[in-house]
Amino acid sequence: METFYLIDFENVHNDGIANIESMTKEEHVHIFSTQNATNIRQDIFWLKEDRDIKPHLVPVRKQSLDMHLVSYLGYLLGVYGKECSYVIISKDKDYDNIVKFWKEEGYPNISRKEKWPGTASTQRQKTQTVSQTKSNVQTVNSKISAGMAYEFEGDDRSELNLFMQHGLVDIGYDGNSANRICKFVIAHCNDERMLNRIHNDFKNSFNNYSEVYEDVKSILEKFVQSKSKVAKRESQVRSFFGQHFQKKIYVDCKEEIIQIILKSETKQQVNNGLLKLYSDGTVVSHIYKTIQPLIRELPGK
């Protein structure tokens, strides 16, 4: 299948195309950049002699590069149709709306990736400078085991699966491989010796099982770290609530107030959530003013 890559170079820079030399003759690359980001690695121009690589220099204006890239994507879709594959290389998640739009229009082979989708092992070899020592491995394993030491049900399993899927795809695994690996991880997420069981399954299923196992551990470590931050935040909010809201009118809605604080992404969402919970504006005003130390980092006024 012919594949077209549209590179948002201003966003990903040379890191996003670190493995571009692995491209085949069925792959076509369009690199979009502005004068603010023109330091494209020089060896790419040597590759141009026998590879289809085209640079596009666009004007420096707000969202100028994004608009040019998206416009060119539409042009490619019109010329080459649904039988080809199209990949936007960018960390900008706003492109996901474009991907969703074209998929709904009947173009299934369109996606966004943060890096050139070479093999995971190749990317790792380029970025890994020091091998983990035995003690480091034990430390990582202990962190993962401790962080995963609770019962995964429903939403927890879905959250882990999604985190693992994204992590694998981001480092170069294709969708089918990511799905296959995730099934093993989810199957053992509640096992007492989870890592051992995952390792054994990988050993029986993958020729490069050691590499796959290390990739999965790396993603699990990030997952545990993210959950730790969430748990720390919740603990902070609960402690604050206990210190500042002791009247019955607040205690009766304790869990609702805590969830509003934890789940809101802006100060306006916090205020709106409290207004839905209480009809008395004075009560809302008091809560909102009191919890300012907890929400000061949220955007808004």
Q: What is the pLDDT of residues 136-181, one digit of tens each?
A: 555 666 667 665 655 677 777 888 889 999 999 988 888 888 999 9
Tell me, yes or no, whether 212 and 140 share the same domain.
yes
Tell me, yes or no, whether 12 and 108 share the same domain.
yes
Q: In what order do the strands lie in the sheet with 27-33?
A: 52-57, 27-33, 3-8, 85-89, 110-113
Tell me, yes or no, whether 33 and 105 share the same domain.
yes
Examine the fold and report which residue of 118, 146, 169 is the final residue of a domain before the chain moves on. 118
The CA–CA distances, whole Å, from 235 to 9, 146, 230, 262 equal: 41, 18, 9, 10
Q: What is the CATH number of the domain that holds 26?
A: 3.40.309
Tell me, yes or no, whether 16 and 50 share the same domain.
yes
3-state secondary structure at position 24: coil
Examine the fold and report which residue of 229, 255, 287 is the final residue of a domain before the chain moves on. 229
237 domain residue, yes or no = no
Tell me, yes or no, whether 73 and 179 share the same domain.
no
123 domain residue, yes or no = no
Tell me, yes or no, whether 165 and 58 share the same domain.
no
Per-residue pLDDT band at 132 (split at 50, 70, 90): very low
Tell me, yes or no, whether 177 and 205 share the same domain.
yes
Closest CA to 99 of 1, 24, 6, 32: 6
The mean of the pLDDT values for the chain is: 84
213-221: average pLDDT? 90
> How many structural domains are present in the chain?
3
Range in 39-48, 78-87, 278-287 with the lowest mean pLDDT = 39-48
What DSSP element (H or E) covers 85? strand 85-89
Task: Report angle CA 265, 268, 269 to the nearest 5 degrees.
Answer: 50
Q: What is the pLDDT of residues 79-121, one digit of tens each?
A: 999 999 999 999 999 999 999 999 999 999 999 999 887 644 4
- Distance separating alpha carbons of residues 283 and 278, to the nearest angstrom: 7
What's the confidence (pLDDT) of residue 146?
A: 65
179 domain residue, yes or no = yes
The pTM of this model reads 0.42
261-266: average pLDDT? 90
What's the confidence (pLDDT) of residue 125?
A: 52
DSSP for 122-168? HHHHHH--SPPPHHHHHHHHHHHHHHT-S---HHHHHHHHHHHHHHH
Boundaries of domain holding 162: 136-229
Q: What is the pLDDT of residues 5-20, one digit of tens each?
A: 999 998 888 888 887 8
115-139: average pLDDT? 53
Q: For residue 32, is pLDDT > 70?
A: yes
- Report yes or no: 88 and 6 within 8 Å, Cβ to Cβ: yes
Tell me, yes or no, whether 190 and 158 share the same domain.
yes
Per-residue pLDDT band at 301 (split at 50, 70, 90): confident
**Torsions phi, psi for 289 (to 5 deg):** -70, -40
128 domain residue, yes or no = no
210 domain residue, yes or no = yes
235 domain residue, yes or no = no
126 domain residue, yes or no = no
Residue 186's region, left for phi above 0, alpha for psi from -120 to 50, else beta, is alpha
Closest CA to 250 of 281, 278, 273: 278
- Distance separating alpha carbons of residues 92 and 8, to the nearest angstrom: 9
3-state secondary structure at position 6: strand
153 domain residue, yes or no = yes
Q: For residue 130, is pLDDT > 50?
A: no
